[in-house]
Structure 1
Amino acid sequence: MWVFGLYSPLPQKMEWDSARVERLVAKSQEVLARPAAHMEVGFFRGLTLLPTAIGIDKNPDGATLRDVLPADVYARWQVLKGKYIGENDSIERRRPIFVADTLLSKGIWKSGLTQHTGVDELIEKTARRNKVKVTSTAFSIDVDDPRGLMKAFKKSQVEDVACFTKTLERLEGDIDAMRVRANAWANGNIAEISSLDYAERDKACSDAIFNSAFARNSPAFQHLPERIRANWMKAAEKSLADNTSTFALLPMKDLGGPTGYLADLQAKGYTVESPK
């Protein structure tokens, strides 16, 4: 199994020499897409959920960011809002976790980087062109009452100030590090990639959701990161048993170290070799 580490953000005008990757994909029997989760909702059922979904990103009880953020954090937000977003009164009523996502995307874009790298798409397109099977490793979330779930989320408080603060920190001091990581990824510099500390922003934002009362009271969201990981592991083991060669996609942050996905394979007796 060849495991390809995905990284973002990357330069907007990046020209990626993907020839070797395309050759490896073409010689494989299967491509495993990156781990994810999705909630199955049919088209007509989805239409009935629209009224409930409207406003899901708003703070409960009409609160604004000024109401829910510490004064010093709000002052830092105002500086970055002016720099990357500009005048936008409606954003002040959104939950911090949603505002953080918008701010990060805008900030990265204005810094000449992009989160939409197109790498996944190119690899999957190469697989289909060569008639290589593409397998989703997304974990399907089974929700008995999606309408009730949305109503519960709209009413719930989410402790997302840490997520918001980590996003501010990333834009205030991590832009240059993002460029260093992007160059290390592009050059395949394993030593440099390994020496870089990834920002804790993603973990803070996922913890805001998964540690909230909303998630703890919903069986569908309990232990979801662990279930996503176990689902990928199941797909990986099946592909290793079935194929001569498999090409798997994993985000860089989930790759190495004692907590990475590959550590699970090592624990089961598989040999994991780092590229030279």
Structure 2
Amino acid sequence: MLKRLLPTICLLMPLTAALAQEATPPAPTEEAAPETETILLVGQRPGPGLWKVSKGDHVLWVFGSYSPLPLKMEWRSQQVESILAQSQEYLGPPGAHGHVGFFRGLTLLPSLIGIKKNPDGATLKDVLPADVYARWQPLKTKYLGKDDSIERERPIFVADALYDAALKQSGLGKGYDVSNKINAIVKERKIKKTDTSIALEMDDASKMVKEFKKSSLADTACFDKTLTRLESDLDAMRVRANAWAKGDLEAIQKLSYADQEAECRDALRNADFVKNQKNWQNVQQRVQNAWLTAVDKALEANTTSFAMLRLSDIVGPDSYLTALKAKGYEVVSPD
């Protein structure tokens, strides 16, 4: 129970992803998705090729993960397995996590009750604009059913639950099978695994939880963008999922979408309970810097290393690989 609850205390939702860089690829003009592509690919799929980062004869291979992906897809890449078998070190994905001691965490458990609820007993109808609330009703019925208990939760938590339920009904998932498979290979091969994430120390974790429970969040935009994406983007999600499975990166980048992740990230990052924590500032840059430092050390120490990044951290002018190019590394994209 404690292992499940402490991340909630520390992060108050998936804040590891929310406070880490969550940039999305550039959004060109939307292209219509071919109807034949709305059928999700099943069976064994390799995903995209690998990016090659070089310093002399030392190489770091970078794999681009993606979400959502087909639930019934079995991912297997002989290229990934072969290169992992040759690697001396595996760099875990960048991120940030809240840090609280074990015994301090035990004292916080009672304060978790009601952490997802709106302050002062407010409901979604009370805190959302009327037009947004009206759009929520049919999506709630379609994906979550008639359980009204969720009506008292904060919009940011409701948006997360709604999005997960919609993905599941659409045959899509978060793509954890891919990272689990890579981690299994790393463990089986006994490859050195380096955690590149940073810890966010808390000045007073108990106070932070209390501040969160009584404070409001500017999370209407997060909720609104989530509704927009579910209203208009599910077919395109399937197209992008299929494109990743086939290794077609160009197709992924051609399809723009409402980026609810950025809105939800900002709702948390700009909240007072975060601003009051001096160790929780400039997280996005600190996360990238920690990963770049880990890459420097891996390329110096090993002839072959392997890393996994979200595709959104690979593609675009502000990507992690662009930062590596600026440091003088040679970066080659997959064919």
What is the TM-score when the length of structure 2 is the normalising length? 0.80
Q: Which runs of 5+ in 1 are unaligned?
A: none
CA contact (8 A) 1:9 1:117 kept: no
What residue is the counterpart of 2:187 in the other structure? Answer: 128
What residue is the counterpart of 1:165 in the other structure? Answer: 224
Question: Aligned to 1:108, what secondary structure does the other structure show?
Answer: helix
Matched, 1:195 2:254: yes
Q: Kindly tell me the number of residue pairs found equivalent between the two proteins.
A: 276
2:237 to 151, 154, 178: 178
What residue is the counterpart of 1:214 in the other structure? Answer: 273
Matched, 1:111 2:111: no
What residue is the counterpart of 1:26 in the other structure? Answer: 85
2:299 to 226, 240, 243: 240
**Could you tell me which amino acid in structure 1 is paired with residue 212 of structure 2?**
F
Name the CA distance, whole Å, in 2 between partners of 1:235 and 1:206.
25
What residue is the counterpart of 1:260 in the other structure? Answer: 319
Change (3 A) 1:41 1:205: same
1:94 to 140, 145, 153: 153
State the 1:158 CA deviation.
Answer: 0.8
Name the CA distance, whole Å, in 1 between partners of 2:325 and 2:233.
32
State the 1:198 CA deviation.
Answer: 5.0
What residue is the counterpart of 1:223 in the other structure? Answer: 282
CA contact (8 A) 1:57 1:94 kept: yes
Change (3 A) 1:211 1:267: same
What residue is the counterpart of 2:67 in the other structure? Answer: 8
**Could you tell me which amino acid in structure 2 is paired with residue 241 of structure 1?**
E
CA contact (8 A) 1:59 1:95 kept: yes
Q: Which runs of 5+ in 2 are unaligned?
A: 1-59
What residue is the counterpart of 2:120 in the other structure? Answer: 61
Change (3 A) 1:194 1:273: farther
Listed as ranges, the matches of 1:32-47 within 5 Å are 32-47=91-106
**Could you tell me which amino acid in structure 2 is paired with residue 8 of structure 1?**
S
Matched, 1:270 2:326: no
1:229-252, Cα deviation, whole Å (9 max, x unpaired): 211111122111111111111111
Name the CA distance, whole Å, in 1 between partners of 2:223 and 2:279.
25
Name the CA distance, whole Å, in 2 between partners of 1:64 and 1:208.
18
Name the CA distance, whole Å, in 2 between partners of 1:127 and 1:31.
7
What residue is the counterpart of 2:263 in the other structure? Answer: 204
CA contact (8 A) 1:229 1:261 kept: yes
Name the CA distance, whole Å, in 1 between partners of 2:304 and 2:224.
43
State the 1:191 CA deviation.
Answer: 2.1
CA contact (8 A) 1:38 1:139 kept: yes
Name the CA distance, whole Å, in 2 between partners of 1:273 and 1:194.
18
Change (3 A) 1:31 1:198: farther
What residue is the counterpart of 2:210 in the other structure? Answer: 151
Name the CA distance, whole Å, in 2 between partners of 1:234 and 1:226.
12
CA contact (8 A) 2:68 2:174 kept: yes
State the 1:116 CA deviation.
Answer: 4.3
CA contact (8 A) 1:31 1:135 kept: yes
Name the CA distance, whole Å, in 2 between partners of 1:274 and 1:135.
24
CA contact (8 A) 1:27 1:245 kept: yes
**Could you tell me which amino acid in structure 2 is paired with residue 233 of structure 1?**
L
Question: Aligned to 2:332, what secondary structure does the other structure show?
Answer: coil
**Could you tell me which amino acid in structure 2 is paired with residue 129 of structure 1?**
E
Name the CA distance, whole Å, in 2 between partners of 1:88 and 1:252.
35
Name the CA distance, whole Å, in 2 between partners of 1:261 and 1:197.
21
**Could you tell me which amino acid in structure 1 is paired with residue 267 of structure 2?**
A
- Which portions of structure 1, spanning 4 or more consecutive aligned residues, are displaced by more than 6 angstroms? none
Name the CA distance, whole Å, in 2 between partners of 1:75 and 1:43.
43
